[in-house]
Structure 1
Amino acid sequence: MSEVNYDENLKIWSGRETRSSFSPDLSIGEIIFREMECHPKLIAQISITEDTVLTREELHMNAMRVASYMRDMGLGQDDIVGVMGRHTTHLSAVAYACFFNGTPFHALHNAYEESCISKLFGITKPRLIFCDGDEYEKVQAATKDLQVTIVTMRNHPVGSVRIQDILTTSVKQNFQPVRLKDGTDQTLAILSSSGTSGFPKAVTISNSHKIIVEYMGLNSSIVQYTSSTLDWLSGLLMAISTGVFSTTSIIADCDFDPGLLCRAIAKYKISLVLLSSSYLAMFANSPELQSADLSSLKYLFYGGSSSSLEAQRRIRSHLSHDCLHFCYGLTELNSAGSVNLNFDGKPNSVGRPARGIKVKVIDEQGGALGPNVQGEICFNNDQKWSGYYQDPDESRKIQDSENWIHTGDLGYVDEDGYIFVIDRLKDMLKFQNIMYYPSEIENVIAEMPNVLEACVFGIWDPVNGDEAAASVVKKPGAQLEAQEVVDYVRKRTTAKFKQLNGGALIVDELVGSGNRKANRAAVKKHFINHFNNN
Structure 2
Amino acid sequence: MSFVPENTYDPESKIWSGPLSQKNYFSPDLSVGEIIFNEMRRHPQLIAQVSDTENTILTCNELCLNSMRVASYMRQLGLKQSDIVGIIGRNTTHIFAVVYACFFNGIAFHSLNIKYEEKTIENLYKITKPSLIFCDGDEYEKVQTATKDLNVKIITMRNHTSESVTIEEVLTTPIVEGFKPVRLEQGTNQNLAILCSSGTTGDPKAVTISNSHSLFKFSDQLTSADVVYTHSTLDWLAGLGMTIFCGIFNPTRIIADNDYDPIRVMRIVEKYKVTWLHQAPSHMSLLVNSEEFPKAEFSSVQHYLYGGSRCSLQSQQLLRSRLSKDCMHFTYGFTELGSVATANSHFDKKPDSSGRLLGGFKMKILNEQGESLGPSEVGEVCMSNGQYWAGYYGNPQETRNMCDSDGWFHSGDLGYMDEDGFLYIVDRKKDMLKCHHIMYYPHELETVIAQMPDVAEVCVFGVWSDVNGDEPAAAVIKRIGSTLKSQDVVDYVRKHVKASYKQLLGGVLIVDDLKRSPNGKTNRRANKEYFLKVRKAN
Contact 2:343 2:354 in 1 (8 A): yes
Give the counterpart of 2:42 among 38, 45, 53. Answer: 38
- Provide Cα deviations, 1:419-441, integer angstroms capped at 9, x if missing partner: 11111111111113222111111
Structure 2 counterpart of 1:225, which letter?
Y
Give SS of 2:196's match: strand
Cα separation, partners in 2 of 1:533 and 1:215, compared to 1, 3 Å: closer
Task: Report the TM-score, using the length of structure 2 for normalisation.
Answer: 0.98
Aligned residue in 2 for 1:5: 8
Aligned residue in 2 for 1:282: 286
Q: Where does structure 1 differ by over 4 angstroms across 4 or more consecutive aligned residues?
A: none
Contact 2:219 2:245 in 1 (8 A): no
Whole-Å separation in 2 of the counterparts to 1:452 and 1:398: 36
Structure 1 counterpart of 2:422, which letter?
Y
- Provide Cα deviations, 1:346-395, integer angstroms capped at 9, x if missing partner: 21211111221111101112111111111111111100111110101111
Whole-Å separation in 2 of the counterparts to 1:130 and 1:529: 47
Name the Cα RMSD after superposition: 1.2
Give the counterpart of 1:122 among 126, 142, 153. Answer: 126
Contact 2:140 2:156 in 1 (8 A): yes
Give SS of 1:344's match: coil
Contact 1:198 1:428 in 2 (8 A): no
Aligned residue in 2 for 1:171: 175
- Provide Cα deviations, 1:252-289, integer angstroms capped at 9, x if missing partner: 00011111111111111111011111001111112222
Give the counterpart of 2:510 among 491, 506, 511. Answer: 506
- Provide Cα deviations, 1:157-192, integer angstroms capped at 9, x if missing partner: 122111001000011220010000100011000000
Give SS of 1:264's match: helix
Within 5 Å, give how 1:130-209 maps onto structure 2. Answer: 130-209=134-213
Aligned residue in 2 for 1:302: 306
Aligned residue in 1 for 2:82: 78
Aligned residue in 2 for 1:228: 232
Q: CA deviation at 1:320?
A: 1.1
Q: CA deviation at 1:412?
A: 0.9
Within 5 Å, give how 1:452-531 maps onto structure 2. Answer: 452-531=456-535
Whole-Å separation in 2 of the counterparts to 1:101 and 1:235: 20
Give SS of 1:242's match: helix
Q: CA deviation at 1:503?
A: 0.7
Q: CA deviation at 1:344?
A: 2.2
Within 5 Å, give how 1:412-491 maps onto structure 2. Answer: 412-491=416-495
Whole-Å separation in 2 of the counterparts to 1:532 and 1:265: 38
Within 5 Å, give how 1:248-397 maps onto structure 2. Answer: 248-397=252-401
Whole-Å separation in 2 of the counterparts to 1:236 and 1:447: 40
Contact 1:15 1:358 in 2 (8 A): yes
Give SS of 1:372's match: coil
Whole-Å separation in 1 of the counterparts to 2:287 and 2:220: 24
Identical aligned residues as a percent? 56
Contact 2:37 2:64 in 1 (8 A): yes
Aligned residue in 1 for 2:20: 17
Structure 1 counterpart of 2:40, which letter?
M
Task: Report the TM-score, using the length of structure 1 for normalisation.
Answer: 0.98
- Provide Cα deviations, 1:301-346, integer angstroms capped at 9, x if missing partner: 1111111111111111111111112111110111101111112222
Whole-Å separation in 2 of the counterparts to 1:286 and 1:241: 30
Q: Which consecutive residues of structure 1, in runs of 5 or more, have no partner in the other structure?
A: none
Q: CA deviation at 1:510?
A: 0.9
Aligned residue in 1 for 2:58: 54
Structure 2 counterpart of 1:97, which letter?
A
Q: CA deviation at 1:453?
A: 1.7
Whole-Å separation in 1 of the counterparts to 2:24 and 2:440: 36
Aligned residue in 2 for 1:403: 407
Whole-Å separation in 2 of the counterparts to 1:128 and 1:70: 9
Q: CA deviation at 1:478?
A: 3.1
Give SS of 1:195's match: coil
Matched residues, number: 534
Whole-Å separation in 1 of the counterparts to 2:127 and 2:451: 28
Contact 1:276 1:432 in 2 (8 A): no
Contact 1:204 1:385 in 2 (8 A): yes
Q: CA deviation at 1:196?
A: 2.8
Q: CA deviation at 1:214?
A: 5.2
Give SS of 2:292's match: helix
Contact 1:196 1:394 in 2 (8 A): no
Whole-Å separation in 2 of the counterparts to 1:398 and 1:497: 25
Q: CA deviation at 1:195?
A: 2.5
Contact 1:446 1:454 in 2 (8 A): yes
- Between 1:243-252 and 1:190-199, the stretch displaced more is 190-199
Whole-Å separation in 2 of the counterparts to 1:237 and 1:96: 13
Q: Which consecutive residues of structure 2, in runs of 5 or more, have no partner in the other structure?
A: none
Whole-Å separation in 2 of the counterparts to 1:264 and 1:434: 26
